[in-house]
Structure 1
Amino acid sequence: MIKKSVTLLLILSLLLSFFTPLAQSAELDEATRTVTFDSSSKTIVLTPEQVKRGKRLFNNSCAQCHNGGITKTNPNIGLELESLSLATPARDNINNLIDYMKSPTSYDGQNSIAELHPSIKSAEIFPKMRNLTDEDLLSIAGYILLQPRIAQEKWGGGKIYY
């Protein structure tokens, strides 16, 4: 009888540990899902589905070089809001991030880097970009802009975290 109880307890704790992350992952509230849409400071509230989709697409298409919001080729410029806002044009809003993912330019905005950076413009070189729609790009941009609120100092924190 004790063996059955211990076995049952082990099975239950394994099941609970398997399902607990799903139960503990609270939906992000509307304030957290509100991000800047354009340079006029207009905002947009992302749906929970857009956030989940953005995370999945980011991890599939961007995380190889930007895991945790860093930039592996230049650790001085990450995806944290400060670096995004100091770029020319500022990339700290949905519209400008989408524009960048379509046709990337250098940090000062002077030169195209489409041959070096995955983008819609260079989809023949970077196949992961071929099937991304504008809605996909919006979800990715939203995910990038949400991360400083969710991961806080870890997002863009560089090699000390990743």
Structure 2
Amino acid sequence: MFNKKFWTSIIIGCLFCTITYTGVNAIPLDDDTRTVALNSTEEVVLTPEQVKRGKRLFNSTCGACHVGGITKTNPYVGLDTEALALATPARNNIESLVDYMKNPTSYDGAELIYDIHPSIRSADTFPKMRNLTEEDLFDMAGHILLSPKVLPSQWGGGKIYY
């Protein structure tokens, strides 16, 4: 009797944890929230699948250095909306972020930094970039642009004032 009750409670507990962890109780994002800039003139509505893939890919590929949209190597420049818009060229849309992931430049745009920043161009040095497709880059860029809408006070580390 004890054995049956014990294993039943373990199974129910594991099922509950699995359901909670995998986001069954997550609040779905509406179309307005999932709308991000495609380029300087057009917008695109990300599908729920793109949102999910973008988050997973970002966390596994970029998450070590950009946890929560913060840049560990330069915490003064995060992946928040303002910092992306002030970069040269501006990186506040999907097309510009995909371009950056292929050929990264310094924040002021003055020099290529693919030798020190993971990119498609430096995939030999940074193996996590090797198998990424154009669709993967698009979904990761969508995640970067969507995150400030979903986590406005947490994404990008907030502003630092002196």
Mapped pair 1:79 → 2:102:
no
Aligned partners of 1:108 and 1:23: how far apart in 2?
42
Mapped pair 1:142 → 2:142:
yes
Partner of 1:58: 58
User: CA-to-partner distance for each residue in 1:132-154, whole Å, 9 max, x for gaps?
Assistant: 11100000000000000111110
Partner of 2:39: 38
TM-score of the aligned structures, taking structure 2 as reference length: 0.86
Identify the range of structure 1 (86-95 vs 10-19) with the bigger mean alpha-carbon deviation: 10-19
User: CA-to-partner distance for each residue in 1:66-116, whole Å, 9 max, x for gaps?
Assistant: 010000000000000000000000000000000000000000111000001
What does 1:106-125 correspond to in 2, within 5 Å?
A: 106-125=106-125
Match for 1:71: what amino acid?
Answer: T
Shift of 1:26: 2.2
Partner of 2:101: 101
Mark the runs of 5 or more structure 1 residues left unpaired by the alignment: none
Match for 1:45: what amino acid?
Answer: V
User: CA-to-partner distance for each residue in 1:28-79, whole Å, 9 max, x for gaps?
Assistant: 1111110000022x10011111111101110111001001000000000000
Aligned partners of 2:39 and 2:17: how far apart in 1?
42
3-state secondary structure, aligned to 2:44? strand
Match for 2:31: what amino acid?
Answer: E
**RMSD over aligned Cα, in angstroms?**
2.1
Question: CA, structure 1 residues 33+119, in 2 after alignment: closer, same or farther (shift >3 Å)?
Answer: same
Match for 1:54: what amino acid?
Answer: G
Identify the range of structure 1 (103-112 vs 21-30) with the bigger mean alpha-carbon deviation: 21-30
TM-score of the aligned structures, taking structure 1 as reference length: 0.86
Match for 2:112: what amino acid?
Answer: S
Paired residues, number: 155
Aligned partners of 1:136 and 1:8: how far apart in 2?
41
3-state secondary structure, aligned to 2:65? helix
Higher helix share: 1
Q: Identity percentage over the alignment?
A: 57
Mark the runs of 5 or more structure 2 residues left unpaired by the alignment: none
